[in-house]
Chains A and B, each alone.
Chain A
Amino acid sequence: MLNKRRFIQGLFTLVSAIICVLIGLALGFIILVVFSWSSYSSKGVPYTVGQVFSTAWEQGFKRILLGGFYNLGWKIPTRSLLLRSEICRIAPLLMCGLSVGFAFKTGLFNIGAAGQYTLGAYGALMCALILKLPWWACLLASVLFGAVWGAIPGFFKAYFNINEVITSIMFNWIGLYGVNTLMYGNGKSVMYNANESKVWKLVNKNASAIIPDMKGDGSTLFNKVFTNPSTIAVFIAIAVAIVLYVVLNKTVFGYELKACGYSKTAAKYAGINEKRNIILAMAIAGALAGLGAGLFYLTGTEQWNPQENTALPAMGFDGISVALLASSNPIGTIFSAIFKAHIATGGPKMEKTLFPSEIADVISGTIIYLCAFMLLFKNKLAARVFRRSRKPEGEIKK
């Protein structure tokens, strides 16, 4: 009976997630068609509906769908940098998704993943560029920095009962401005490379801080795909997802965290220290987001730009869509992170003079909006299915 219930609920979750994705993609395609049509009409030359659609497909939508496979067609990937950078994006997305999802499971909305990610990036890069530590130590630092930044809103929630959403948002901005100040240091920071107006590349300053890849002798397909910037980071992230799944579902700690999440008052009644659990849950969520930043910036694929980063890292907010799409299930998050990385890689490959790459963001924004209420439909639907098999109870439900 357990299996049947779980199976059906899982199925509904999956189906509703797929529906959200399909509606989001359909909307994206419609926007592409509109852009394609308006570009044709402004040229003032005769055109057909077929041309409008084929441009929207060939120069736009197909490239989103192809993602990292864009310049490969559907052929077997060989040494595509694009594909490797798509894989490189999966790890941070997955970690931010896990961060938000883990907090959801414990009844908290961690909108602060962006700030924790920022702090994680600082922790990792500071250890790499200033302290010259090896990659694993830098990763630990990113975990630590993220955890602290997550724990603070948890502390305010537990002891002052301030909504974690508000504090997390404030700490996002405080973290961003703080980290940028430290990394830039009026242009005099050790971490700042004035020539490129970015933080130094790891290769130039401390190559040991780069997360190892699986290049090997480069002979097999596996070796080719997992060559830097695609590193073992994605495997670390997947391992973390599995550990989280076990912790949440099989352990006493997970039982307590979820009890707090479902009902703070009932958890308190049962003698669970709900204040400690809130802080702990936010610290873990922060650690996950921080690790995400470490797993991204320690691949060396991109450098932090403390002068241009006036907006919060999108990764933290993408984590929200990744988590929602997966209904906060750690295993599901792996797949939603892959999906998100895929369309985010595809978006900028659209023909720039025709289609803004942000259409990919519109798609994922739409998906979160739909997810916000699709899950409720799913629950209602599931409840209806189960009610049919319900035995009479003799009493009327109050």
Chain B
Amino acid sequence: MDDYVIEMLHITKTFPGIRANDDVTLQLKRGEIHALLGENGAGKSTLMSVLFGLYQPDSGEIRKDGKTVHIKDPNDANALHIGMVHQHFKLVDVFSVLDNIILGAETTKYGLLKKDEARRKVMELSQRYGLMVDPDALVEDISVGMQQRVEILKMLYRDNDILILDEPTAVLTPQEIDELMEIMRGFAREGKSILFITHKLNEIMAVSDRCSVLRKGKYIGTVETKDTTKEELSRMMVGRDVSFTVDKAPCKPGDTVLSVQGLTVPSKLHSNNAVKGVSFDVHAGEIVCLAGIEGNGQSDLVLALTGLEKASAGKIEFCGKDITHSPIRKRALAGMSHIPEDRHKHGLVLDYSLENNMSLQRYFEPEFESLGFIKQKKVHSYAEKLISEYDVRSAEGPYTIARAMSGGNQQKAIVGRELDRRTKLLVAVQPTRGLDVGAIESIHKEIIAARDAGTAVLLMSLELEEVMSLSDRILVMYEGEIVGEFDPQKVTVQELGLYMAGAARQDISAASDAAARGGIANA
């Protein structure tokens, strides 16, 4: 009989209107690395939250070492030595690393915290597993990679031996990913069991022993990694064959649409500049991609381009006009569209109906306004047109409140609205984040269609696969600077990783030459 340390049997969990887990079974062996594969929204995080005690299942049972257990909250999970690193780190920004690690597992003497003892234990663990951290640094001041190490130390500090890692590689460079995998293998050798949630097939093939697949809340199956292929896994995940490449015609760059010169943007988090004197051009009919690890200034650069933040130096030229200090409305009217990074914060007025959101950039145009009054009928028919063109699905059509829509449909609504404006420049930030394969494919098609129609596209993405398949030119940002320019046909993910991690950089003045020579100049 197999030595199962954790068994989740026939778990069902429904949320209002959604069956997130439908009769899902997952069995974890002692000392194995077990991948849990599924698309966004397949129910992976819900299943892990059930195991971790954040949700209670409607039915089904959980066994630890063969005995039925009831996990009502994270304390119960902790008592069973189950630990979890969440996709979005659960760290308190203004606390020190040490405080974050001991939170919830504090030891006290006469009611006062015993921090010295805790510090010794943390440092010991940190040395033993090669997880270097500064215990006194504030979390808001440390890198994402170190934050992840803090999260892992949190589990080790609690003597957890069942470790759940939810999408741990999303924020790391390829090199950091390799390091993480080595650490995971080390844990497995010690007899710890690892559940590793991901939607990246390469990583599963590289590190896991077995893989379980979920699709739309249902359990599809479990396979031995050594007996399977990427193609089989992706079929299990999506339910059909998926092509990994995006079909597109060769790029025919036209006139310069956007020209950025020496742009500097101050940071909101620290006294340094987030963007430091960046220069580049984007031409009509090409997709330029900003690649880099999260927090290296790409977001700030985009906010300054679109007018949401102020630049402190440098110049932005759009279609030959200086727009460095223009208000947002003026940029939009000149033909700049913006698919924002955060669709809830910027992209939608969540409490407005879908129809009011569809006209968010145009409600003041004569088509929709007369004498200060809004022509609601026109707004309505315009929304209906966009909804059918971009296949936006919702319960009540144009009347649906945006908040009640699924993330994918919210995103499609934004994409539709931003592309239907005879736009000259599309600034798209992570346009497919959190979407399923079908929605990703359709949004990619729309972006390529816009580019073929002569729109200049500036795409910012953290997903290297997306960067490689969509872009005509790649700019890598590191610590607020452009450190390399590449032709996606002539560069590998590993090379990009070196630049993203700051381990290599091109001479910026020779950047375009380097791109011509295949982008390996200083690699």
> A and B touching (C-beta < 8 Å)?
yes
Residues of chain B within 8 A (CB-CB) of A393 are 393-395, 405-406, 409
Do A387 and B16 contact each other (CB < 8 Å), given the known contacts A263-B349, A269-B340, A395-B409?
yes
Given contacts A250-B373, A266-B348, A270-B361, A398 and B328 within 8 Å (CB-CB)? no
Check: A50 CB closer than 8 A to any chain B CB: no
A-B interface contact total, Cβ < 8 Å? 114
B17, B43, B364: the one within 8 Å of A397 (CB): B17
Q: Would you call A271 an interface residue if the criterion is a C-beta within 8 Å of the partner chain's C-beta atoms?
A: yes
Which residue in chain B gives the minimum CB-CB distance to A380? B16
Contact segment of B93-101, B263-271, B350-358, B493-501: B350-358
CA distance A397 to B350 in the complex (A): 14
- Interface membership of A259, Cβ < 8 A: yes
Chain A residues with CB under 8 A of B295: none
**A251 near B373 (CB under 8 angstroms)?**
yes
A5 contacts B399, CB within 8 Å? yes
Residues of A with C-beta under 8 A to B434: 398
From B408, which residue of chain A is reached at the shortest CB distance? A395
Chain B residue with the shortest CB-CB distance to A397: B406
Complex Cα distance A263/B356, Å?
A: 13
Which of chain B's residues 303-322 have a Cβ closer than 8 Å to chain A?
306, 308
* Contact partners of B338 in chain A: CB under 8 A: 269
Q: How far is the CB of A387 from chain B (nearest CB, A)?
A: 5
For residue B83, CB closer than 8 A to chain A, the reply is no
Q: Who on chain B is nearest to A271 by CB? A: B329
CB distance from B502 to the nearest CB of A (A): 31
Q: Chain B nearest CB: distance from A205 CB in Å?
A: 41
Q: Which residues from chain A contact B42 at a C-beta distance below 8 Å?
A: 396
The one of A258, A259, A271 in contact with B328, judged by C-beta atoms closer than 8 angstroms, is: A271
Q: B66 in the interface, Cβ–Cβ < 8 Å?
A: no
Q: How far is the CA of A265 from the CA of B439 in the complex (A)?
A: 26
Are the C-beta atoms of B407 and A269 separated by less than 8 Å? no
Number of interface residues of B (CB under 8 A): 54
Instruction: Write out the residue numbers on chain A whose beta carbons fall within 8 Å of the beta carbon of B15.
Output: 397
B343: nearest chain-A partner, CB-CB: A266
- Residues on A with C-beta less than 8 A from B216 are 396
A390 adjacent to chain B (CB < 8 Å): yes
Task: Specify which of A250, A258, A265, A398 is in contact with B346 (CB 8 Å cutoff).
Answer: A265
Residues of B within 8 A of A398 (CB): 40-41, 406-407, 434
Establish whether residues A255 and B347, one from each chain, have CB atoms under 8 Å apart when the complex forms.
no
Cβ–Cβ contact A1 & B374, under 8 A? no
Give Cα distance in the complex from A239 to B327, angstroms. 37
Q: How many residues of A contact B (CB 8 A)?
A: 34
The answer to the question of B217 belonging to the interface, with a C-beta cut-off of 8 Å to chain A, is yes
Chain A residues with Cβ below 8 Å from B217 are 396
Let me know if B18 is at the binding interface, CB within 8 A: yes
- On whether the beta carbons of A252 and B364 are closer than 8 Å, the reply is yes
Contact A269 B399 (CB under 8 A): no
Contact with A along B14-50 (1 / 0, CB 8 A): 0111101000000000000000000011110000000
Report the bound CA distance from A252 to B366 in whole Å: 11
Q: From residue B261, how far is it (CB to closest CB) to chain A in Å? A: 24
CA distance A259 to B347 in the complex (A): 12
**Least Cβ–Cβ distance between A22 and chain B, in angstroms:** 29
Docked-complex contact A396 and B406, CB < 8 angstroms:
yes
Contact of A387 with B17 at beta-carbon distance under 8 Å, contacts A266-B349, A269-B347 already known: yes
The answer to whether the Cβ of B55 comes within 8 Å of any Cβ in the partner chain is: no
Which chain B residues in 71-99 approach chain A with CB under 8 Å?
A: none
- How far, in angstroms, from A393 to B216 measured CA to CA in the complex? 12
B 121-153 to A, binary, CB cutoff 8 A, 1 in contact else 0 = 000000000000000000000000000000000
Does B390 lie at the interface of the complex (its beta carbon under 8 Å from any beta carbon of A)? no
Is B67 an interface residue, CB under 8 A from the partner? no
Q: Which among B17, B327, B372, B406 is the interface contact of A251 at CB below 8 angstroms?
A: B372
Cβ–Cβ contact A386 & B395, under 8 A: yes
Bound-state Cα–Cα, A2 to B393, Å: 17
Nearest A residue to B355, CB-CB: A2
Say yes or no: is A159 at the interface (Cβ < 8 Å to chain B).
no
Does B159 touch A at the CB level, under 8 Å? no
Among B20, B308, B407, contact of A268 (Cβ-Cβ < 8 Å): B308
| Among A2, A266, A387, A397, contact of B407 (Cβ-Cβ < 8 Å) | A397
Within 8 A of B (CB), among A217-272: 250-253, 255, 258-259, 262-263, 265-272
A266 & B406 in contact (Cβ 8 Å cutoff): no
Taking CB atoms and an 8 Å cut-off, the chain A residues in 1-50 that contact chain B are: 1-2, 5
Q: Are B396 and A251 in contact (CB under 8 A)?
A: no
Q: A394 to chain B: which residues have CB within 8 Å?
A: 393
Cα–Cα, bound, A116→B345 (Å): 33
On whether A397 and B372 interact (CB within 8 A), knowing A1-B396, A5-B399, A271-B329, the answer reads: no
Which of A251, A267, A395 meets B349, CB within 8 Å?
Answer: A267
Residues of chain A with a CB closer than 8 A to B346's CB: 265-266, 268-269
Check if B9 is an interface residue, CB within 8 A of chain A. no
Question: Across the interface, do B395 and A252 meet the contact criterion of CB distance under 8 Å?
Answer: no
B207: interface (CB < 8 Å): no
Bound CA span A268–B399, Å: 23
Determine if B41 and A396 form an interchain contact, defined as CB atoms under 8 angstroms apart: yes
A389 at the interface (CB under 8 A from B): yes
Asked if B395 and A391 sit within 8 Å, CB to CB, the answer is yes
> Which B residues are in CB contact (< 8 Å) with A268?
308, 328, 346
- Does A181 sit within 8 A of B, measured CB to CB? no
Please give, as numbers and ranges, the residues of chain B lying within 8 Å of A386 by CB-CB distance: 395-396, 404
- Chain A residues whose C-beta falls within 8 Å of the C-beta of B399 in the assembled complex: 1-2, 5
CB distance from A263 to the nearest CB of B (A): 5
Does A310 interact with chain B (Cβ within 8 Å)?
A: no
Q: Which of B399-429 contact A (CB under 8 A)?
A: 399, 404-409
B436 interfacial by beta-carbon distance below 8 Å: yes
Task: List, in ascending order, chain B residues with CB within 8 A of A251's CB.
Answer: 372-374
> How far does the alpha carbon of A247 sit from the alpha carbon of B338 in the complex, in Å?
29
With a 10 A CB-CB cut-off, give which of A252, A255, A262, A265 has the most chain B CB atoms: A255
Q: Is A266 touching B345 in the complex (CB atoms < 8 A)? A: yes
Chain A residues with CB under 8 Å of B407's CB are: 395, 397-398
Closest to B364 in A: A252
- Of all chain A residues, the one with the shortest Cβ separation from B396 is A1
In the complex where A252-B373, A389-B395, A395-B41 touch, is A263 in contact with B350 (Cβ < 8 A)?
yes
Cβ–Cβ < 8 Å partners of B332 in chain A: 271
The residue of chain A having its C-beta at the shortest distance from the C-beta of B327 within the complex is: A271
Task: Name which residue of chain A comes closest to B306, CB basis.
Answer: A269
A395 and B350 contacting across the interface, CB-CB below 8 Å: no
- Rounded to whole Å, the gap between the CB of A8 and the closest CB of chain B is 12
| Given A263-B349, A396-B217, also A271-B393 (CB < 8 A) | no
Shortest Cβ distance from A6 into B: residue = B399
- Chain B CB within 10 A, most for which of A266, A387, A391: A266
Q: Within 8 Å of chain A (Cβ to Cβ): is B360? A: yes
A397-B18 contact in complex given A255-B356, A271-B329, C-beta closer than 8 Å? yes
Residue contact A253 to B395, C-beta cutoff 8 Å:
no
Chain A contacts for B364, CB-based, 8 A: 252
A369-383, CB under 8 A of B: which get 1 and which 0? 000000000000001
User: Which residues of A, 140-170, contact B by the 8 Å Cβ criterion?
Assistant: none
Does A273 sit within 8 A of B, measured CB to CB? Answer: yes
Q: Does B382 contact A (CB under 8 A)?
A: no
B209 contacts A by Cβ under 8 Å: no
Residues of B within 8 A of A258 (CB): 352
Q: Please, which residues of chain B bring their CB within 8 A of the CB of A390?
A: 17, 395
Cα distance A224–B382 in the bound complex, in angstroms: 54
Please provide the 10 A-B residue pairs with the shortest distance between their CB atoms, ordered closest to farther: A271-B329, A398-B407, A390-B395, A396-B41, A269-B346, A271-B328, A395-B406, A262-B351, A397-B406, A266-B349
What are 25 pairs between A and B in contact, CB < 8 Å? Answer: A250-B373, A251-B372, A252-B364, A255-B363, A259-B349, A262-B350, A263-B348, A266-B350, A266-B360, A268-B346, A269-B338, A269-B346, A269-B347, A270-B361, A271-B330, A271-B332, A271-B361, A387-B16, A390-B17, A395-B408, A396-B42, A396-B216, A396-B217, A396-B406, A398-B406
Given contacts A1-B396, A389-B395, 10 further A-B contacts (CB under 8 A): A255-B363, A259-B352, A266-B348, A269-B328, A271-B328, A273-B327, A390-B17, A393-B409, A396-B217, A397-B405
